[in-house]
């Protein structure tokens, strides 16, 4: 597998970090990765290893306010700029692989983003993969906390605080949790603007799931303590025949980092191989 990195800068002057892995020969398609909240693309080398062996390139970028990209940690001025960032990311991919189909793959917050991108933007995608998407959190915050966040958003939208994610609930593999806890590029800060925008957009996606026009592989662990498996199941149900739903019994939030991750990769590859053989979505 060949690894590469690059950067681009948008009109705001924010520098974005791009990281990719490609097969040595015979690339069949490109998987465009949008990572989860607080993390970065460097945590997906194991996914890249599995996908490149099967002939798929994996290319991701660090979201604004994350990893090696610029911007205040855990903040975005609006949800639409995140949609624009994904569109710009896809434009970075096209010159490298102008004739290959592209699958958009998002995990957690990234799952929220790719589902909304597929619903809101016209993009030439062969399909979408969403892993443990943040459509609803596993345990809804009290109404008074949401109301307070809305007031704070009007006064100081960039105000951030610890998200309070339970790292032990990411994976049953203690080595994954330890690496996450010691990773200097991982953070736990989220602004009120990003929290409210992601929350509202997850609920919006649930309400508009029937409008999905792309083939979708939607996966979630039933023991996820961060995001709601039931919300993912509901999205798949509402999306109808375009959605392939896969619940992983007893698994935690990061399916790609669980001890049985090889089964997840096999499911992704089998699904993409099947979708590639049919007319583009």
Q: Is residue 41 part of a domain?
A: yes
Question: Where in the sequence is the domain holding 243, given as residue range(s)?
Answer: 2-276
Per-10-residue mean pLDDT of the chain, 281 residues long, equals 94 95 94 98 98 98 98 95 98 93 98 98 94 90 65 69 87 98 96 92 98 97 97 98 97 98 98 85 41
Nearest to 276 by CA among 26, 30, 21: 30
Contact 255, 219 (CB under 8 A): yes
78 falls within a domain: yes
Angstrom distance (rounded) from CA 69 to CA 15 = 6
Domain-embedded: residue 193:
yes
Is there a domain that residue 281 lies in? no
What does 65-77 look like in DSSP terms, one character per residue?
TSTTS-SSTT--S
Collapsing DSSP states into helix, strand and coil, what is residue 281? coil
How many domains is the chain partitioned into structurally?
1
Tell me if 106 is assigned to some domain. Answer: yes
Domain-located, residue 6? yes
d(CA 50, CA 270): 12
Q: How far is CA 54 from the centre of its chain?
A: 21
Give me the pLDDT at residue 15, please. Answer: 97
Is this prediction's pTM over 0.85?
A: yes
CATH code of the domain in which 251 resides:
3.40.50.1820
Cα→Cα distances 115→161, 206, 207, 270, Å: 26, 10, 12, 21
Kindly state the DSSP code that residue 186 receives in the 8-state scheme: -
């Amino acid at each position: 597998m060949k690894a590469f990195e690059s950067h681009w800068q948008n009109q705001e002057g924010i520098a974005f970090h791009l990281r990719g892995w490609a097969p040595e020969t015979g690339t069949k398609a490109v998987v465009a990765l949008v990572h989860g909240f607080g993390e970065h693309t460097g945590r997906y080398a194991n996914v890249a290893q599995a996908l490149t062996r099967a002939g798929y390139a994996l290319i991701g970028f660090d979201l604004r306010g994350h990893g090696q990209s610029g911007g205040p940690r855990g903040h975005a001025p609006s949800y639409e700029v995140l949609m624009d960032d994904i569109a710009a990311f896809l434009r970075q991919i096209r010159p490298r692989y102008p004739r290959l189909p592209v699958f958009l793959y998002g995990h957690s917050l990234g799952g929220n983003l790719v589902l909304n991108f597929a619903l809101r933007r016209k993009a030439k995608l062969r399909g979408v993969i969403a892993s443990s998407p943040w459509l609803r959190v596993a345990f809804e915050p009290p109404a008074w906390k949401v109301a307070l966040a809305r007031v704070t958003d009007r006064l100081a939208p960039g105000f951030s605080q610890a998200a309070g994610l339970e790292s032990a609930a990411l994976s049953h593999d203690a080595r994954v949790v330890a690496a996450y806890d010691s990773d200097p590029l991982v953070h736990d800060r989220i602004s009120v603007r990003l929290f409210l925008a992601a929350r509202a957009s997850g609920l919006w996606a649930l309400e508009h799931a029937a409008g999905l026009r792309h083939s979708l592989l939607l996966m979630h662990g039933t023991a996820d303590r961060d995001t709601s498996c039931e919300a993912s199941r509901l999205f798949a149900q509402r999306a109808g025949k375009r959605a392939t739903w896969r619940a992983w019994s007893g698994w935690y939030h990061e399916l790609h980092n669980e001890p049985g991750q090889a089964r997840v990769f096999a499911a992704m590859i089998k699904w993409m191989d099947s979708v590639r053989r049919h007319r583009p979505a």
